[in-house]
């Protein structure tokens, strides 16, 4: 610790004391930080394990009680001037949508529905070609959902259907739909 050599005696002693204090402080702080890191890692691993247990219990409870509350559906959405968002994956700038009236959307969906019901077309093929929803990439499949996850008119129409049935026209803030319950 001989960094200061040619300064008065008392100053050298003070400098030595400061250096020793600084060195000791780093040692203490370093060990305190290591201990803190160990405690944090231990508490993190405990809380992660606790979370996993809670999630397992939660999933067991929800899968046993609410699996019957869930439905699965596919849909075809035609957006129009009154839709909440006037853009879609097919029409990102909304040029077609802003020029489509609700009546035109309803007319198109009725025609598509007639083709599906008569057997001329398959629901998933029609959804892939005509739906403004990104689910079109999956043939209109929305997957499974429970109550409170969809807009109210959509949810009510879906839950009212039997598996394999196709709804009449359903209006939501997103646009105009036909829905097929698939599960």
Would you please indicate which residues are annotated as catalytic (active-site) residues?
A: 75, 133, 151, 174, 177
For the chain, what is the domain count? 2
85, 106: one domain? yes
Q: Are 158 and 181 in contact (CB under 8 A)?
A: yes
Count CB neighbours of 112 within 10 A.
21
CA distance 143 to 76: 14
170, 82: one domain? yes
Q: Tell me the pTM.
A: 0.64
Contacts of 6 (CB under 8 A, 6+ apart): none
Residue among 165, 108, 161 at smallest CA distance from 132? 108
Domain boundary among 69, 87, 102: 69
123, 95: one domain? yes
45, 86: one domain? no
The pLDDT-based confidence of 65 (bands split at 50, 70, 90) is: very low
Determine the pLDDT at residue 37: 52
Averaging pLDDT over each range in 3-17, 18-32, 64-78, 153-167, which range is the top one? 153-167
Angle CA(177)–CA(181)–CA(183) in degrees, nearest 5? 150
The residue range of the domain holding 63 is 8-69
Determine the pLDDT at residue 23: 56
Q: What is the CATH number of the domain that holds 98?
A: 3.10.50.40
2 in any annotated domain: no
Q: Are 159 and 72 in contact (CB under 8 A)?
A: no
62, 116: one domain? no
């Amino acid at each position: 610790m001989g960094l200061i050599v040619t300064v008065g005696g008392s100053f050298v002693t003070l400098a030595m004391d400061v250096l020793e204090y600084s060195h000791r402080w780093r040692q203490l702080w370093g060990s305190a930080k290591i201990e803190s890191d160990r405690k944090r890692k231990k508490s993190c691993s405990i809380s992660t394990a606790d979370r996993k247990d809670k999630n397992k219990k939660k999933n067991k409870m929800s899968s046993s009680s609410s699996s019957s509350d869930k439905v699965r559906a596919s849909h075809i959405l035609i957006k129009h001037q009154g839709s909440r968002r006037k853009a879609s994956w097919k029409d990102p700038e909304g040029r077609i949508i802003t020029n489509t009236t609700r009546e035109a959307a309803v007319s198109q969906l009725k025609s598509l529905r007639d083709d599906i019901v008569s057997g001329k077309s398959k629901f998933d093929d029609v959804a892939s070609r005509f739906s403004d929803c990104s689910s079109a990439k999956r043939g209109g499949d929305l997957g499974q959902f429970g109550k409170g996850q969809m807009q109210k008119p959509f949810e009510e129409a879906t839950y009212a259907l039997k598996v394999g049935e196709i709804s009449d026209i359903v209006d939501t803030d997103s646009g105009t739909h036909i829905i097929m319950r698939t599960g």
